[in-house]
Amino acid sequence: MKRSLRLVRRRLLASIPVLLIVITLTFVLLETAPGDAVDAYLLSIGGGDAAVADGLRRAYGLDQSLTARLWLYLTALARLDLGWSVAFERPVLALIAERLPNTLALMGSATALSFAIGSALGIVAGSKPESVKDRALSSISLILYSIPGFWLGLVLSLVLAVQLRWLPTSGIETIASGKTGLDRFIDIARHLVLPVSSLALIYTALFLRVMRAGMEEAWTLDFVLFARAKGLARSRIVLRHVARHAALPLITMLGLQAATMLGGSVVIESIFAIPGFGRLAHEAVAGRDAPLLMGIILVSAVLVIIVNLLVDLAQAALDPRIGASEASS
Amino acid sequence: MTLLSVENLRKHYSSGDRDVAAVDGVSFSLSAGETLGIAGASGSGKSTLARLILRLAEPEAGTIHFEGQNWLALQGAKLRGNRARMQMVFQDIHGAFHPTATVGSVLDDPLRIHRIATKKDRPGEIARLLDRVGLAAADAHRPVHQLSGGQRQRVAIARAISTRPSLIVLDEAVSALDVQVRNRILKLLVELQREQGISYLFISHDLAVLRAVSHRLAIMDTGRIVEYGRTTDMIDSPQSAAGHALVSAVPRLTLAGRPKNTV
Amino acid sequence: MTAALCNLSNMTVRYGGRTALSDVSLNLMAGERLAIVGESGSGKSTFVRALAGLLPRGAICDGQVHWASDQAPRLGRDIGFVFQDASASLNPLLRIGEQVAEGAKRHLGLTWQAAYDHAQALLEQVRIANAPAVMRAYPHQLSGGQRQRVAIAAAIASRPSILIADEATSALDTVVQADIVKLLDELVSKNAMTLLFVTHDIALASNLADRIAVFKHGHLVEIGPVADVLSKPRSSDTQDLIAGHFDLTSPPLIAEVATS
C-alpha cells in the first residue's frame, strides 16, 4: 500500500497549485465582467444615486484594489471563511452546506446506479461481441444516449407523476410534513426517483458503451487467448480476464463524468425544482453574487479533485503497473 | 581514422527502490568504414548505450567524440543539424512509423529538414534511395503499414542513408525478420558500407548476425564491456562468462537430428 | 513412438477471404517431437491453433481430425499451449500465482489452496528462483525469460499430454532462448509429452525435434525425420531454409562481399 500512499501524496500536492490557479482565474474573470453586486442590488430595489452605490461598495470593500481583495479572500479562505452571499444575505459556506447534500444525493445515486447497471449490461453485451444480445443492447443504449436529459425528465415526470400520480413531481422532500427518521428517508427517496432515473438512464447507456468497447478490444489480446488456451470456464475468462481489463477505461470515464455531472445537474434540478448546488450556481449568476459564485466554483473544483483522487486510487488498486516505477532519475 | 570515440560513459536508472547501472563506464572507438558489433543479453545495457550515443538520453558522466567534435556539448539547432551525420535503424516494430505515413513521406522528411535536396529534386532523390535499398520507385506512394517486415526495414535503411551519414547505429535491426529476409538485409548493409564508407555500431543479442557483419566485437554484461577485440578471435575463444554464454547459445544446424536419450 | 495420436486430413483454414492453411494432411505420433518450420505467413501458427481449437472468431476450418483416443483432447486439460510473446500472454492485472493456479484449479479439481501449492511447485519445476515471491508478483515485475517460464508453468499446470510451443522462444534473446529450449526439452522428456514446436529457425528445430514439417504459403511442403529432411531435402523451400541459416561456422558476410 506504499504505492497508494505515494500516489495520494503526489496528487494532493499537485492539487494545491490547481486550486490557487482556479481561485485567481475566477476572481479575475468575475472582476473583469461588467457590473457588480451593488449594481444588481440597486436595480432590484428600483435604483439609487451614485453616493449610495459608493457607500455600499465601501461597506463591502469593493473599492479596494484587485490584488488587495484577492489577498483578503485567500486569507479568509485559510480560516475556511468563504465570504458573505450578497443575494441571500447569508454566509456562503452555510448556503453551500445546505444545498450540496441534495446534489450529492442526486448525483451520487444516479452515478452509482448507472455505473452498476451500465457496466453489468456492458459485460453482458461484451461477453459475446456481435451476438444478438450484444446488438440489442447496443441499439438500446444508442437510442438512450441520444435522448436529451431534460426531455427524458419531462416525459418521465408527465407520465409517472402527473398522469399516474405515483411519484411527486418536484422538490427534494414534502414541505412541512414533519417526517423524521425512516419516513423522511423514504420521502426523499420517492422525490429522487424521477430525477435520478432521468440522469441514470443516459449515463447507463454511456457506461454500457464504454464497457462493451473495452471488452471487445480485450478479446483480441494475447492474455485472453492464453486464458482460452488454459481451457478456463467461460465465466472466468469473461469476468476475471476480459471485464477486469475493460474496467480500466470505464473508471477513467467515471472521473471525467464527475465534472460533467455537476454541470448537468443544473438542468435536472431546474425541471424537478430541487434546491441543489446547480440551481444555487444559477441563482448566484443571476444575482451577480460574486462571493457565492466564487465559493461554488471552489467547492466544485475540490469535488472534482476528490473524485479524481478516488478514481486514481481505484485505478491503482485494479492495475498494479500504475505508480510501480517512478520516472527515471 | 577514428570516427567515434567513447570514454567512460555512465548512465543509471532508478527502478522502484533499486538503482540500476545501465551503462557503467563504457569506452570504445570506431574507425571510418568499420563495423563494431555490440553483443549482450537483454538487460546488459546495450540499448541504453545506443540511446546515449544517439543523444536520445543524456549520460551522467563520460565523453563522446564524433567526427572530431565534442558530441555531448552540441545542443539545440547545432545538435539537430549534426544529427544528419549519425543515423539509426531500430528493430522492426509497427510503432516506428506513423500509421498513415507513406514510404515517400518517410523519406521526404529528412531530405527537407536537413536540406539535402530541393523540393524539385526530392522525388528523384527518393526514387534513387528506394532503388538503392532494393525497392521500386512506385513504392513511394504505398502506406508503410502495407509493407512486409523486410520492406519496412529497407525503408528504415533508406531513411537512414538519405542524409549521407558517416555512422548508423543499428539496434536489433534484423532480429524480427525471417531468416532469408534477414540475410538479404545484412547483405544490403554490407554493400552500402563498402560503397559509402559508412560505419556501423551494430547492436544485437545474436552472435551469428554480429559475426557476419562486424570487424570488431564488444561484449556487454551488466553495463560494462567485458570483452573487446577482433570478431573472429573472440568468437573462437571467448574469455568472459557472458562471451561463453553468447557463443554457446547460437543454435547450430545438426544434420543428424538431436542426440537420443538426452535427459 | 509408434502409435498415431491423431490423423489430420485435408485441413484448410480461411479468414476473411484469405486462405491461411490449405489442404494439410499429416499424422501426429504419440510421444513424438514435431517441429513446424516456416517463415512468417507460412501457416505454421494457423496450423497449431486450428489443431488446438484456438482460431479467432470468423475463421472457417475444414477437414477431418481423427484422434486415436475416444475423446478429443481438451484444450488446457490435455493440450498445453505456450505463445511467442510472454509479456502479452500474461494478464498484467493478475498475480502470477493466480495465473498459474487457475488452470489447475479448473482441470484437476483442486481447491484454490491446493491449486496455489501446485502452482508454486510448478514454478520451482520450471526453475524460477524464489518461487514464493514470484507467486505474489505481477508480470511487469519479471524479466522476459522469467515470464516465459511462468507461461510454460501455466501451460503444463494440468499435466497435459500434448504441449504446443508457438514461437515460444523467438521474442527472447539467444541466451535466454537457449535456456528455455533446454527447459522444454527436459519437461517434455520427463513428463513424456508430445511436443509441437513451431519455429522459423530450422537450426533450433534440428536440436529439439524428432521430425520436421516445413510449411510455405499455407501448404505443408515436406515432412520427415530430422536427419532425412536436413540431409536430403526434397523441397526447394526446405533447401532455401537450410541455405539461409548461418551460425558461427558460416563464412562472414563482410569477407564474402569483399571478395565478390
Give C44-62 pLDDT, tens digit per residue: 999 999 999 999 888 999 9
pLDDT confidence bin for C72, thresholds 50/70/90: confident
Q: Could you give the CA distance from residue C29 to residue C8 in angstroms, rounded to a whole number?
A: 11
Q: Could you give the CA distance from residue C218 to residue C21 in angstroms, rounded to a whole number?
A: 4
Of A230, A320, A321, nearest to C102 by CB-CB distance is A230
* A108–chain C nearest CA distance, Å: 28
Q: Which domains does chain A have, with CATH numbers?
A: 2-91 (no CATH), 100-318 (1.10.3720.10)
DSSP H stretches of helix in chain A = 2-32, 37-44, 50-59, 66-78, 92-126, 132-145, 149-156, 181-219, 222-229, 234-236, 244-271, 277-286, 290-318
Q: Which whole number is the average pLDDT over B174-180? A: 86
Is residue C257 predicted with pLDDT exceeding 60?
A: no
Q: By the CB < 8 Å criterion, does B17 face chain A?
A: no
Q: Could you give the CA distance from residue B156 to residue B175 in angstroms, rounded to a whole number?
A: 14
**B263–C190 C-beta distance less than 8 A:** yes
Q: Which pLDDT value is given to residue B169?
A: 97
Number of domains making up chain C: 1
In a domain, C142, yes or no: yes
Is residue C104 predicted with pLDDT exceeding 90?
A: yes
pLDDT confidence bin for C246, thresholds 50/70/90: confident
- In chain A, residues with a C-beta closer than 8 Å to the C-beta of C89 are 222-223, 225-226
Is residue A37 predicted with pLDDT exceeding 70?
A: no
Q: Which pLDDT value is given to residue A41?
A: 72
Nearest to C131, CA basis, from C143, C122, C144 = C122
pLDDT tens per residue across span B153-162: 999 999 999 9
pLDDT confidence bin for A329, thresholds 50/70/90: very low
In a domain, C4, yes or no: no
Beta carbons of B88 and B157 less than 8 angstroms apart:
no
In a domain, C77, yes or no: yes
DSSP H stretches of helix in chain B = 46-53, 76-82, 103-113, 122-132, 149-162, 179-196, 207-213, 231-236, 241-249
Q: Which pLDDT value is given to residue B18?
A: 65
Chains that touch B (3 or more CB pairs under 8 A): A, C
**Domain ranges, residue C142:** 33-39+71-259
Beta carbons of B207 and B39 less than 8 angstroms apart:
yes
Residue by residue, DSSP assigns A54-114 as HHHHHHTTTTS-HHHHHHHHHHHHHTT---EETTTTEEHHHHHHHHHHHHHHHHHHHHHHH
Q: Which whole number is the average pLDDT over B56-73? A: 94
Q: Could you give the CA distance from residue C252 to residue C258 in angstroms, rounded to a whole number?
A: 10
**A328–B14 C-beta distance less than 8 A:** yes
In a domain, C23, yes or no: no
Which of A62-71, B42-51, B98-107, C77-86 is predicted with the least confidence, judged by mean pLDDT? A62-71
Highest mean pLDDT of the ranges A61-65, B96-100, C246-250: C246-250
Report the mean per-residue pLDDT for chain A.
Answer: 84
Q: Could you give the CA distance from residue A166 to residue A141 in angstroms, rounded to a whole number?
A: 26
Q: By the CB < 8 Å criterion, does B83 face chain C?
A: no
pLDDT confidence bin for C155, thresholds 50/70/90: very high
Q: Which whole number is the average pLDDT over A200-222? A: 91
* More confident site: A9 or B87: B87
Is residue B103 predicted with pLDDT exceeding 70?
A: yes
* More confident site: A183 or B202: B202
pLDDT confidence bin for A52, thresholds 50/70/90: confident
Q: By the CB < 8 Å criterion, does B255 face chain C?
A: yes
Q: Which pLDDT value is given to residue A202?
A: 82
pLDDT tens per residue across span A120-157: 999 999 998 888 999 999 899 888 888 887 788 888 88
Q: Which pLDDT value is given to residue A324?
A: 63
For residue A154, how many other CB atoms are within 10 A of its CB? 15
Mutate one of C84, C174, C207 to test the B interface: name it (highest B CB count within 10 A).
C174
Beta carbons of A96 and A188 less than 8 angstroms apart:
no
Report the mean per-residue pLDDT for chain C.
Answer: 92
Q: Could you give the CA distance from residue C87 to residue B213 in angstroms, rounded to a whole number?
A: 31
Q: Which pLDDT value is given to residue C46?
A: 94
In CATH, which superfamily holds the domain spanning B2-93+166-249? P-loop containing nucleotide triphosphate hydrolases (3.40.50.300)
Q: Which pLDDT value is given to residue B95?
A: 66
Beta carbons of B181 and B209 less than 8 angstroms apart:
no
Q: Which whole number is the average pLDDT over C11-29? A: 92
Q: Which pLDDT value is given to residue A326?
A: 42
* A323–chain C nearest CA distance, Å: 12
Q: CATH number of the domain at C250, please.
A: 3.40.50.300
Q: How does DSSP classify residue B117? A: S
In a domain, C59, yes or no: no
Q: Which pLDDT value is given to residue A285?
A: 84
In a domain, C156, yes or no: yes
Backbone angles phi, psi at C23, to 5 degrees: 55, 55
Report the mean per-residue pLDDT for chain B.
Answer: 90
pLDDT confidence bin for A1, thresholds 50/70/90: low
B42 to chain C: nearest residue by CA? C173
Is residue C158 predicted with pLDDT exceeding 60?
A: yes
In a domain, C240, yes or no: yes
Q: Which pLDDT value is given to residue B240?
A: 94
For residue B99, how many other CB atoms are within 10 A of its CB? 9
Q: Which pLDDT value is given to residue A328?
A: 34
Is residue A104 predicted with pLDDT exceeding 50?
A: yes
pLDDT tens per residue across span A248-306: 999 988 888 877 777 777 888 888 888 888 888 888 888 778 888 889 888 888 988 88
For residue A162, how many other CB atoms are within 10 A of its CB? 11
Q: By the CB < 8 Å criterion, does A245 face chain C?
A: yes
Beta carbons of A66 and A31 less than 8 angstroms apart:
yes
